[in-house]
Structure 1
Amino acid sequence: MTGFYNRSVFGSVAVATLAIGIATSAFVNDAAADTYKWLTFKPQGAGDAQAISTQWFVDEFKKRTGGKHEIEVFWGGSVAKTREIPDALSANVGDFGDIITPYFADKFPLNNAVGFFIPQPNSTIEIAHLMEKWHAKYPQFAEELANYNLKAVGFRPLESYGLLCTSPIRSLADLKGKRIRTYGFAYPALVEALGASPVSIATAEAYEALETNILDCTPIGPALAYGWKYDEVAKYYIEIPLGASFGHLIAMSLDTYNAMDDETRAVVDKLGNEYAEDYNAELEKTIAEVRAGWGAKGVEVIPFPKDELISVIDDERIQAVRQEWISRAEAAGLPVDEIVSELKF
């Protein structure tokens, strides 16, 4: 994905201008406010697990505070677009928001740990629980966010990925020379280690690239393959166990969180702890529905030998990417061996 990890272009001037304009519309953060603001790039009524679980959080917050407090969701980037949300929360333009963590690896390297360790053996809910554990056990994860006036209150990993391809892939030999979409840190190194060619193409452009044979494969999960309609033009889903990627933080302005009364803050903490389970349940439901419909769409699901994938993990290119995160984590004083052991096959 072109520019996938670039720093947000939402500069301080833009934040200040937006904050001033929003203040005139009663968007100013107020510790006594009855209504909090949730900033998201998701369109209202998207109907996917992300949007559904967001609405669940909002509805439960109002119910559990007895209607004393509520959250208004500003859907579809109407207040801050995807790459603007962290700075908007930092500036108290919003109170809650969705942060696609890998877009900001320069700001949040520790919280992007999973992105350096693809492939890894954990599922969506397992990654969510690992993130919860790391935040509870190691203060460095929360401190990294606090540097930007942010606090994580929930975790939304992406689904476990395989490869969606335009031709059958049944072994490592079949991947040789294939053009595979890559982004971030780990995927380019992994694709090269598999003997394929990494191609950087934006998410929105991948459909056409698969359709016109610019790409042979893209790493993706069933729900996203269906959501982006890639399964209309690529009819082979390869069950290569890449694992789940860490995707989104459900974040708050730290100022807002600290200004809440103890009772309201306890509601937020409880909802955050429950969020991953609700999100994962919705995601698994979607995945099951997509898989059930693939036969009628002509999509073939093909197993891939797990041992052949594991055999390339010691490749120096993959290990160099992992070492990059390890070096950063060691500099932050984290017990690296303990964390890394949970991301290894």
Structure 2
Amino acid sequence: MKILTTTSVAVLTLAFAGEALAVEWNASLWGTRRAFTEHVEKLSELVAERSGGEFTIDVNYGGLSNNRENLDGISIGAFEMAQFCAGYHRDKNRAITVLELPFLGVETLEQETAVSHTIYEHPAVAAEMAQWNARMLMTSPMPQYNIVGTGEPRDEVAEFDGMRVRATGGIGDMFASVGAVPTSVTSSEAYNAMESGVVDSVAFAQHAHLSFGTIDIADWWTENLNPGTVNCPVVVNIDAYNALSDEHRAILDEAVQDSIDYYLENYAELLEGWEATLAEKGVQKVTVAEAEIAKLRAGADPIHQAWIEEANANGLPGQELYDLTMQAIADNAPD
């Protein structure tokens, strides 16, 4: 029988201790790697690099959960990190849906980021997320949505009447207010819905039109409708976050801004090539007259007020969240 020496026992002990120090997280996303997910990919890269490989985040695209159930997965600890969009389940994340109201006036991705993070820090948001054992980490800033469609271009509000459009959140409410028929099929389902004629048009940011293929079957795209955007946070499981060592938690927190900066740079490059993409795919660029857009904006105020009243009725500080959003938009307006 081989007898372990004191030295060999010490080596084994150190080996097991070193192994115990390693932290492996799973992040649940969906679709494929795209501009919308680049900050999560960058975060994973930076965390591994800065921890010397002791803290890693495995980014999964649909293998852990579907996009409507990521918040549920976080709540039970099925994975440690996830991305979700508020419009997919408004009843689960009511507070942050203020950021999805139509025609808020956000102009840039940098402004969108600052406004989102301001709202994420509000105690009402933190408390609501805590019900799902979730902690806000960072946003996934997207430009103002515009729609692609099939058939004849629709550039007048009257032409939206009866239009079946894939649109979620406040954007969907805005289209409904002028007679359109919004549906909240997920981004992954949008192409099939459009191809089969279930919808006539799809509201997305540019990266999503590319990633999910709706631009490939579109006849036209509105370049300046800009009704709003959706809000898609990245969250972490509270227990997993609290279980991190101080060093690893600091590495994660400090990597957030660098990851957002990388995301913004990457998205800017995508936008620079958008005109060429439209030309290449033969998609007609439609400019909606300012008078028509004004009609849509006029309908936004009642939607905003209805959101405040519903939030208040649900025990949220609706007016406070709305006012904070509008103040953050003004405070972070581009020069």
Measured against the shorter chain, the TM-score band is 0.7 to 0.9
Q: Say yes or no: does 1:197 pair with 2:180.
A: yes
Match of 1:223 among 207, 229, 233: 207
In the alignment, does 2:108 pair up with 1:108?
no
Unaligned runs of 5+ in 1: 1-31
* 1:40 corresponds to 2:28: yes
Pick one of 295, 300, 304 that aligns with 2:279.
295
Q: Is the 8 A contact 1:159 1:283 kept in 2?
A: no
Answering whether residue 41 of structure 2 is matched by residue 58 of structure 1, we say no
Whole-Å Cα distance in 1 between the matches of residues 81 and 184 of structure 2?
A: 30
Aligned in 2, Cα 1:50/1:193: closer, same or farther, shift over 3 Å? closer
Where do residues 158-177 of structure 1 align in structure 2 (5 Å cutoff)? 158-166=142-150, 167-173=152-158, 175-177=159-161
Q: Alignment partner of 1:255: what SS?
A: helix
Equivalents in 2 of 1:325, 1:127: separation in Å? 24
Q: State how far apart, in whole Å, the 1-side matches of 2:313 and 2:142 are.
A: 24
1:271 is aligned to: 255
1:311 matched to 2:311? The reply is no
Q: Deviations over 1:91-128 (max 9, x none)?
A: 2332222233322321211122222x123321433222
1:245 correspondence with 2:233: no
Residue 241 of structure 1 aligns to which amino acid in structure 2? N
Q: Do the aligned residues in 1 keep the contact of 2:80 with 2:240 (CA within 8 Å)? A: yes
> Given the superposition, is the C-alpha separation of residues 214 and 84 from structure 1 closer, same or farther in structure 2, using an over 3 Å criterion?
closer
1:181 shift after superposition:
1.0
- Deviation by residue 1:272-328 (Cα, 9 ceiling, x = unmatched): 233332223222322333432211221122222345323333437634543345525
Does 2:134 match 1:150?
yes
Asked whether the 8 Å contact 2:308–2:318 carries over to 1, the reply is no
What letter matches 2:70 in structure 1?
I
Once residues 55 and 340 of structure 1 are traced to their aligned partners in structure 2, the CA distance between those partners, rounded to angstroms, is 28
Aligned equivalents of 1:189, 1:326: Cα separation in 2: 16
Distance 1:327 1:264 in 2: 38
TM-score, length of structure 1 as denominator length: 0.76
- Asked if 2 retains the 8 angstrom alpha-carbon contact of 1:163 and 1:218, the reply is yes
The answer (yes or no) to whether the contact 1:149–1:255 under 8 Å persists in 2 is: yes
Q: Counterpart in 2 of 1:132?
A: 117
SS of residue in 2 equivalent to 1:81: coil
Could you tell me whether the CA contact under 8 Å between 1:41 and 1:77 is conserved in 2? yes
Which piece of structure 1 moves more, 274-283 or 316-325? 316-325
Structure 2 unpaired stretches of 5+: 1-19
Change (3 A) 1:285 1:140: same
Q: Is the CA contact 2:175–2:182 (under 8 Å) kept in the aligned structure 1?
A: no
Q: Tell whether the 8 Å contact from 1:89 to 1:95 is kept in structure 2 after alignment.
A: yes
Contact 1:226/1:290 (<8 A) preserved: no
Greater CA drift, 315-324 or 297-306: 315-324
What is the alpha-carbon distance in structure 1 between the residues aligned to residue 154 and residue 266 of structure 2?
29
- Post-superposition CA distance 1:69-94 (Å, at most 9, x none): 22233x23323333333233222332
Preserved contact between residue 34 and residue 69 of structure 1 (Cα < 8 Å): yes
Equivalent residue for 1:97, pick from 82, 92, 96: 82
Q: Who is 1:71 aligned against?
A: 57
* Structure-2 separation of matches of 1:275 and 1:265: 15
Structure 1 residues 319 and 293: CA distance shift in structure 2, 3 A: closer
Provide the secondary structure at the position in 2 that maps to 1:237: strand
Amino acid of the structure 1 residue aligned with 2:303: I
Conserved? CA contact 1:159–1:245, under 8 Å: no
- CA shift at 1:156, angstroms? 0.8
CA gap of 1:86–1:284, structure 2 versus 1, over 3 A, is: same
Q: 1:80 to 1:183 in 2, by over 3 A?
A: same
What is the one-letter code of the residue matched to 1:233? I
Q: Distance in 2 between matches of 1:184 and 1:50?
A: 17
Alignment CA distance shift 1:325-1:313 (3 Å):
farther
Q: Distance in 1 between matches of 2:218 and 2:84?
A: 29
Give RMSD over aligned pairs: 3.0
1:339 is displaced (CA, Å) by 2.2
Q: Choose which of 320, 323, 326 in structure 2 pairs with 1:341.
A: 326
Match of residue 83 from structure 1: 68
Alpha-carbon separation, structure 2, partners of 1:251 and 1:265: 14
Q: Report the Cα distance in structure 2 between the residues aligned to 1:208 and 1:81, rounded to whole angstroms.
A: 17
Residue identity (%): 17
